[in-house]
Amino acid sequence: MGEQGKIDFLIFGYNGVNNTGSEAKLATTLIDLKELVEKKMKRLGRITIITQNVKNQRRYTPDPDIHMLEFSPVSLIQPWIMIRQKHDVLLLNEGSTFIDHFSSVFLWMFCYAARLAHYRGKGVVAYSNDCGHLKPRNQKILADTMNKSIDLLMLRNPDAAVRMKEYGVKKEIKLVADGAYLYPIPSQEYIEGVWKKLELDPKKRPVVGICPKEFFWWPVAARFVGKKENLYNWPMYNTWTEEGRKNSQKYVDQTAAYADWCVEKYGADVALISMEHMDFPPARRIYEAMKHRDRARLVASDEFTVDAIMAVLSAAKFQNTTRYHSTVLASPFGVPMLTVSSDTRCEAVFRELEAMDYFIDYVKHPNRFPEVENLLELQIAKTEALMKNEEAWRKKIKDAHQVFQGRARMIRTLFEQWLEKEFLPQAKF
């Protein structure tokens, strides 16, 4: 334990890559630690964030008292990096750790860190996470780690809890919601400043948010050399097949046509929002393929922080998203939405909203081909149906937001109960 009984935390997450959702979730986790462990318990010691890039991380976490551990994929061949870390609690913050179609690496890294922390007598907490489809080997690794090495397991949706039990996890699962539902809403003055910067005015023209991503260059794989445009973080590269490239271009063309339809149908301005760095290449390609690109704006996470992207989402008449956290960050504004999905994350949200009529199951990883050929027609039909009930959907999403926030607040309560159980015998708060 740290100096004078202080509790040191090591936060394991997918940070430092300009991922809006991960950074929003991290920000609310840090608020919890500050308000609970520092202000209430008076026990907060050192916080260390594992990040892939310290410079990027400081855009979101400027507090100089929070330490950074730069940890790139190449660190996998240096396991002693984790051995050297001194902490009392390993806290898993990344929501998508237990989903392996991107790569198995992140799952393996956390499971190694969790087993090591448990072996050393440290606490291990999963701080509102998801669970998606896993290969049989990874199901076994997950179940073994959760059953033997985790102390507090909190999952953010019912689908994840069911799936984890199917994989053999016997550890008690606490159902919460994603911490980003509690992300503070920026001031109206700030929001309108972002609109002005982008020349958006939802009072004059409706705004449509489109959050695309690249579906077809997975998984990430180790390569000593590769093309610069495919570099993820050396030595890891995104991988393509020839069929994947063709499907990627088809997705871009169909989404550009959909964006043009939104301009023509609703007289809208279109915000092409890159929720993380890897989303910018497809967003730019969609922009370049549009007929009405003068009515489109590129909103890239490399430039816009969580607050700014939240401001853009708040302006939307509706959004068409591939990204889980754009549904979360638009939730307080009641933005109606449809999704073009590749995994279980958006599906879980839409199932809870009873909005599966607006869910397009586009790609089933690890297969890299679309499940539907008529994506453009599907998006148009679902958008028209959504807009027929726009006000009802705004109310429904705002009501659901209150429920999700209530579950998200349980994270801190459950965490406090666990901390008291673990650390009260050693010192009084």
Q: What is the pLDDT of residue 225?
A: 85
How far apart are the C-alpha atoms of 346 and 323, rounded to whole Å?
Answer: 7
Pick the CATH number of 3-182+406-423 from 3.30.420.40, 1.25.60.10, 3.40.50.2300, 3.40.50.2000: 3.40.50.2000
pTM for this predicted structure: 0.94
Indicate the pLDDT class of residue 366, thresholds 50, 70 and 90.
Answer: low
pLDDT of 429 over the 50 cut? no
Helix (H, G, I), strand (E, B) or coil at 250: helix
The answer to whether the beta carbons of residues 15 and 306 sit under 8 Å apart is no
Kind and range of the H or E run holding 50: strand 44-51
The answer to whether the beta carbons of residues 156 and 25 sit under 8 Å apart is no
Kind and range of the H or E run holding 233: strand 231-233
Least confident of 100-109, 110-119, 338-347: 100-109
Q: What is the pLDDT of residue 81?
A: 67
Structure tokens at 195: 């609109």
How far apart are the C-alpha atoms of 283 and 109, rounded to whole Å?
Answer: 30
Helix (H, G, I), strand (E, B) or coil at 210: strand
Q: What is the pLDDT of residue 123?
A: 97
Please enumerate in sequence order all residues whose Cβ is within 8 A of that of 227, keeping only pairs 6 or more positions apart, or say none.
Answer: 237
How far apart are the C-alpha atoms of 254 and 235, rounded to whole Å?
Answer: 33
Q: What is the pLDDT of residue 264?
A: 98
What integer is the mean pLDDT of 126-130? Answer: 98
| CATH code for the structural domain at 188-388 | 3.40.50.2000
Report domain extents, the chain. 3-182+406-423, 188-388
pLDDT of 57 over the 60 cut? yes
Least confident of 229-233, 246-250, 392-396: 229-233
Indicate the pLDDT class of residue 428, thresholds 50, 70 and 90.
Answer: very low
3-class secondary structure per residue, 327-365 = HHHHHHHCCCEEEEECCHHHHHHHHHCCCHHHEEECECC
pLDDT higher for 176 or 424?
176
Give the model confidence (pLDDT) of 62-79 as tens digits: 999 999 998 766 555 455
ω into 366 cis (within 30 of 0): yes
Q: What is the pLDDT of residue 426?
A: 56
Indicate the pLDDT class of residue 345, thresholds 50, 70 and 90.
Answer: very high
For 127-181, the DSSP string reads: EEE------HHHHHHHHHHHHHH-SEEEESSHHHHHHHHHTT--S-EEE---GGG
In order of 211, 297, 322, the CA distances from 284 in angstroms are 12, 10, 15
Gyration radius (Cα) of the chain, Å: 21
How far apart are the C-alpha atoms of 317 and 205, rounded to whole Å?
Answer: 10
How far apart are the C-alpha atoms of 287 and 297, rounded to whole Å?
Answer: 8
Q: What is the pLDDT of residue 176?
A: 98
Least confident of 48-52, 212-216, 218-222, 348-352: 218-222
pLDDT of 372 over the 80 cut? yes
Indicate the pLDDT class of residue 221, thresholds 50, 70 and 90.
Answer: confident
Q: What is the pLDDT of residue 98?
A: 96
pLDDT of 189 over the 70 cut? yes
Most confident of 62-71, 105-114, 217-226, 374-383: 374-383
Of 344, 337, 342, 332, the residue nearest 402 (C-alpha): 332
Of 64, 47, 36, the residue nearest 12 (C-alpha): 47
How far apart are the C-alpha atoms of 277 and 15, rounded to whole Å?
Answer: 11
Q: What is the pLDDT of residue 423?
A: 87
Q: What is the pLDDT of residue 257?
A: 98
Cα-Cα-Cα-Cα torsion 30, 50, 311, 266, nearest 10 degrees, comes to -140
Please enumerate in sequence order all residues whose Cβ is within 8 A of that of 354, keeping only pairs 6 or more positions apart, or say none.
Answer: none
Q: What is the pLDDT of residue 86?
A: 86
Q: One fold for both 3-182+406-423 and 188-388?
A: yes
